[in-house]
Amino acid sequence: MHFDERRTHFLQDRLLRRLRECRLDSFYSYYRLLISEEGRGELAQLLENLTVNETSFFRNKSQLDLFQKHVLEDLLRRKQERRDYTLRFWSAGCSTGQEAYTMAMQVVDAVAYYYLRNPLPYETPLPKPLIPPPWKVEILASDISYSVLRAGQEAIYNENQMASVDYAYRLRYFDKIGNRYAIKKALKELVHFDFHNLKTEYLPQRNDVIFCRNVMMYFDEAEQKRLIEKFYRCLNADGYLFVGHAESLLGLTEKFQMVHRNSGTAYQRIEVRL
């Protein structure tokens, strides 16, 4: 993890909290604990305390419009031409799951709308699935923090977390349980949660779209470049990468071109065509 001067205070504050929790009186003794065999559990605790997990449903609306209206439409058309009906999405640094479930809701709607205009001669089983066959959708949601992964898998959100979900989406994709909202089973089944540290070499391959928003900003420049290079390899040809509102690939790579529509931005893999 990278902490520049602007984040030193945050680091110090979180370290002090753990020091107190462990009843230690110096950073050095805490450091000794972390590198010891008994300190493995504490290292995981510290990690949980150092990650910033802020997220929400439908975060950055203009970018999501670009995703639904342009990127998904382009993807579905290209895939259908090749008779490849599997769509793979990845929310890298998914926090408590709202980003992945937002993608799921948008993908379901986009596939249904595309299918309406481009039906295929396949029998639809009953009850009608969210994704009409032969189309298949897989959404991977990954993070480095186990506690957020558990929350994403649980998929139950309170009224505050639901603030950005309009009532049409609430009715279609959520069940109300007491004063909380649970993602409906059929939508939940499209999303699979898994642990992945974006700093490791092996990352999930063959994705059509990667969302990695508000994660890279916590990496230093060299690490950002490495990650973008890895994302390039993790994407299928012509695949798309979405980064956060305050992030950009400018000056970090030559391998992606910017796609910009109505103030939403994404990056598409540049292919070398012979």
Binding site for ligand SAM (CB under 6 A): 51-55, 59, 93-95, 99, 143-145, 148, 196-199, 213-215, 218, 244
Rg (alpha carbons) of the chain, rounded to whole number: 20
Nearer to ligand SAM, 132 or 143 (CB): 143
Instruction: Give min distance, CB of 198 to ligand SAM, in A.
Output: 4
Q: Quick check: bond before 121 cis, omega within 30?
A: no
| Nearer to ligand SAM (CB atom), residue 196 or residue 255 | 196
Residue with smaller CB distance to ligand SAM, 96 or 236: 96
Query: What is the widest separation between alpha-carbon atoms in the chain?
Result: 70
Q: Shortest gap between Cβ of 270 and ligand SAM (angstroms)?
A: 24
CB of 33 to ligand SAM, least distance (A): 22
> Which run of H or of E encompasses 168?
helix 167-173
Q: Give residues with Cβ within 8 angstroms of 145, minimum separation 6.
A: 47, 48, 51, 53, 95
Q: How far is the CB of 175 from ligand SAM (least distance, A)?
A: 23
Phi, psi of 184 (to 5 degrees): -65, 150
Q: Which residues pair with 167 in a beta bridge?
A: none
Q: How many CB atoms lie within 10 A of CB 211?
A: 29
Residue closer to ligand SAM (CB basis): 76 or 235: 235
Nearer to ligand SAM, 95 or 236 (CB): 95
| Minimum separation from the CB atom of position 103 to ligand SAM (A) | 11
